[in-house]
Amino acid sequence: MDALWSSMTPQDWVALGLIAMVPALMVVAIYLIRREVRQAAQRRRDEPPRSTTPPLHLKTTSAQREQWRMGKQRHPRAIADLADDIETLLMRERAGG
pLDDT attached to residue 1: 57
User: Is 56 within a domain?
Assistant: no
pLDDT attached to residue 89: 83
User: Is 51 within a domain?
Assistant: no
Residues 25-52 have pLDDT tens digits of: 999 999 999 999 999 888 887 777 666 6
**For residue 28, what are the domain limits?**
2-46
User: Is 57 within a domain?
Assistant: no
Residues 37 and 73 in one domain: no
pLDDT attached to residue 51: 64
The whole-model pTM stands at 0.41
Residues 40 and 73 in one domain: no
User: Is 53 within a domain?
Assistant: no
Structural domains counted in the chain = 2
Dist CA 59 CA 61 (whole Å):
7
Residues 39 and 9 in one domain: yes
Q: Nearest-CA neighbor of 57 among 38, 85, 83, 33?
A: 85
Q: Give pLDDT < 70 ranges for the chain.
A: 1-2, 49-53, 73, 96-97
Dist CA 61 CA 69 (whole Å):
13
